[in-house]
Structure 1
Amino acid sequence: MAQPGILRDILGQPASLQKQLEYLRTEGQPALKAAAEHLRRNSDRIILSGMGASLFACRPLSLWFGRHGVLAPVIETSDLLHYQQELCRKATLVLVSRSGRTIETTKLLHAVDPRDCHVIGVTAVTDSPLAEQSQNVIEIRTTPDTMVSIQSYPGTVLALLALGAAAVGQFDDSWQSRAAALIDPWERSIDEDLKASEGWHDFFVNPRVIYLTARGPSLASALQGALLFNEVAKVPAAGVSAANFRHGPVEIVNPDFRGLIFATQAATNQLDIGLARDVERFGGQVRVIGPTDALRDKLPAASIWPIPNVPEPFGPVIEVSPIQIAAYRTALWRNVELDKFQYAGPVALNEENLGG
């Protein structure tokens, strides 16, 4: 039997990320540095925007800028288009779209005045409307995905973090070496998770809703993970802030509750471990994603999904892979046809009608 496209994409991510990093280091570095130089000179109003996975990929960059005293909010492209176009005036808009031609992206490009809004386009398609109408373009050079955003997502997160590093003068040999050091341990981790996932069936059997929680930059991974469960396994899932989950949503916990908790950010992983303990104490079931050293002796071994211990800010680049595998396995267990959308196309080209 032929290997499903999504599985090829999952297994191909380390090599694909290496391709993206090599592009940023070499051929793509002049474009990266030109965009970063513009951000350095125009840091008073920066907006990060996208839809779906492209939107989520912006969050780690937003928080990176915040740590360096620069306000760069993440705003959904649809909201900019329909409600907040005025924010684009005298702004730098980092607009992210894998295809470069999603309907909200193309409409917003037509709506803003290029003399009044500097667009930095981040896309995988260099002849797309986004690439053609941006003043700066950062290319996503990962291997094309079969359907949903698997290989392109970590490549996009890495490219945006590279832009942030370059904007504060840190896209140097040290940064690039730390990024390159992700590849080998991530490849081993994906192989190990794929084998281990054969034993995950009971956790995912007939879930009503799967909740994914995280804090800080890792909230991007929770949101992307929920999207993957929706798109790949066709099951309800929600990505939520772990902090906000304590402010009311925790009331839904019961024996049917299934939660995936990212405890990957050093500043807050003890809080995430505390949430996992609380949910289990209330009768729910959780699995906690994080480095083994940070979780060992603090949670039952069966509750831990280990990932490599990587330096900040690179966690969101690789930490979603266990969720990709879980979504793939859940689709198999539910007899869901892989590599196929039921209602939407791979690129949203119409705001009024799905599949249009």
Structure 2
Amino acid sequence: MNFRESIDLQPERLASSRLAVADVLREIDTTPLKNGSVGFVGIGASLYASIAGASEFRSRGLSAHAFSPMDLLEQPSGLADSFIALSASGRSVETVDAMRSAKGSLYAISKDSENPLASVVQGVITTRSGLEASPSAPSFTTTLQAIGMLADRLTGQFTAAWERLPEAAIRILVSSPKALERCANAFGNATSIDFIGERQLLGTAYEGALLAREAARLPACGFDLRNFLHGPMEALDERMALVVHGSHREVKLAQDAAAFGCPTLLVSDRNDVPDTTNLIVLRVPSVGNSLADSILQLIAVQLLVARLSAARGLADSKFRYRQADTKIA
């Protein structure tokens, strides 16, 4: 299985994972997460899921922040009252070490409950996202879905967005190829790509940049929208490419960058923004929840990165720089 094939699995995996997560949430005691502050913890892609997850929790009125494992290893108490460690495999060395040292109520979100991380926390929310390629696709999106469902459980603010996700994901897989082909052509000579978002979509932007580095081996960075406006955008020109997520101030950024000559993709639920020279607009409808919408926008970016990867002869390539000290055997 390659990266592109794993992208296609997501509608099915989101549907089956939703049922698996719902079963677990009926069984485990999540009461401690309602009291005090929550720290999401992850490394690599899981750190970016933590950023999106903390933003989703805050949007629901919960106190939440994202931390790297090194934050907890430096200060094992006082950062939050409870922690949710994110690790699809449950084998990330730094995350397991951080949970061993952390003080408070400890939970994890992983693909299954038979892993080293599960042994050091009180409860595991299993996504059952199944086998996939490297880089990952379903494990990231099902983790975000699990976070959203957990937020539903903690706040009693239940949304139908999770039931709508699989069908919406299918629509993106079917409807976006033409726009993404134009975008891949426009990005063909780019020396680097910047990915921009804020709030839940900041996690999407960071993950998009990681995928571009992993799958297409292109230099890429993710930026918070407002931070990008305060200087980093000065590097934009026709040699770079830009992916902008969002529907508010993000639209002007995308239009401005395209006017500067920078090939730009705007991923948005707006239907009133036209394509222009250097600007391609990909409309991704909302399903009524910001975290669920970030999943859909990420699927569009996954498809773009898969096209760029294939164009560079990397569709079936494996990671070159596996590190022996990042996973517990």
Q: Same fold (TM over 0.5)?
A: yes
**Aligned-partner Cα distance in 2 for 1:143–1:346:** 23
* Structure 1 contact 99–128 (Cα < 8 Å) conserved: yes
Does 2:112 match 1:125?
Answer: yes
Which of residues 63, 78, 82 is equivalent to 1:71?
63
RMSD (Å), alpha carbons: 2.2
* Structure 1 contact 146–339 (Cα < 8 Å) conserved: no
**Aligned-partner Cα distance in 1 for 2:165–2:96:** 34
TM-score (norm 1): 0.85
Other structure's SS at 1:56 match: helix
* Structure 1 contact 58–160 (Cα < 8 Å) conserved: no
**Aligned-partner Cα distance in 2 for 1:185–1:65:** 23
**Aligned-partner Cα distance in 1 for 2:276–2:169:** 23
Shift of 1:330: 1.1
Shift of 1:153: 0.8
* Structure 2 contact 82–105 (Cα < 8 Å) conserved: yes
Shift of 1:119: 0.7
Which of residues 263, 272, 282 is equivalent to 1:296?
272
1:39 matched residue in structure 2: 33
The code of the aligned residue for 1:10 comes to I
Does 2:73 match 1:96?
Answer: no
Other structure's SS at 2:327 match: coil
The code of the aligned residue for 1:86 comes to S
The code of the aligned residue for 2:77 comes to E
* Structure 1 contact 186–308 (Cα < 8 Å) conserved: no
Does 2:41 match 1:49?
Answer: yes
Which of residues 86, 89, 93 is equivalent to 2:77?
86
Distance 1:108 1:152, change over 3 A: same
**Aligned-partner Cα distance in 2 for 1:332–1:78:** 35
- Structure 2: unaligned runs, 5 residues or longer: none
* Structure 1 contact 102–347 (Cα < 8 Å) conserved: no
**Aligned-partner Cα distance in 1 for 2:253–2:63:** 29
**Aligned-partner Cα distance in 2 for 1:331–1:297:** 28
1:23 matched residue in structure 2: 20
Number of residue pairs aligned between Structure 1 and Structure 2: 327
**Aligned-partner Cα distance in 2 for 1:285–1:242:** 17
Other structure's SS at 1:24 match: helix
TM alignment of 1:1-356, pairs within 5 A: 4-25=1-22, 27-31=23-27, 34-35=29-30, 37-40=31-34, 42=35, 44-81=36-73, 83-87=74-78, 91-112=81-102, 116-171=103-158, 175=159, 177-194=160-177, 196-263=179-246, 269-291=247-269, 294-300=270-276, 303-313=280-290, 314-336=292-314, 338-344=316-322, 348-349=326-327
The code of the aligned residue for 1:38 comes to P
**Aligned-partner Cα distance in 1 for 2:41–2:271:** 34
The CA deviation string for residues 86-145 of structure 1, in whole angstroms up to 9 with x for no partner, is: 335x72111111111111022223333xxx421111111311111122111101111221
Other structure's SS at 1:78 match: helix
Distance 1:273 1:198, change over 3 A: closer
Distance 1:236 1:31, change over 3 A: farther
Deviates more, 1:48-57 or 1:301-310: 301-310
* Structure 1 contact 147–339 (Cα < 8 Å) conserved: no
- The share of aligned pairs that are identical, in percent, is 24
**Aligned-partner Cα distance in 2 for 1:94–1:58:** 9
Shift of 1:235: 0.7
Distance 1:345 1:17, change over 3 A: farther
**Aligned-partner Cα distance in 2 for 1:346–1:260:** 33
**Aligned-partner Cα distance in 1 for 2:296–2:248:** 20
* Structure 2 contact 85–108 (Cα < 8 Å) conserved: yes
TM-score (norm 2): 0.92
**Aligned-partner Cα distance in 2 for 1:277–1:68:** 31
- Structure 1: unaligned runs, 5 residues or longer: 264-268, 351-355
* Structure 1 contact 96–123 (Cα < 8 Å) conserved: yes
Distance 1:206 1:248, change over 3 A: same
Shift of 1:321: 1.1
* Structure 2 contact 6–136 (Cα < 8 Å) conserved: no
* Structure 2 contact 46–87 (Cα < 8 Å) conserved: yes
Distance 1:151 1:345, change over 3 A: farther
**Aligned-partner Cα distance in 2 for 1:330–1:249:** 24
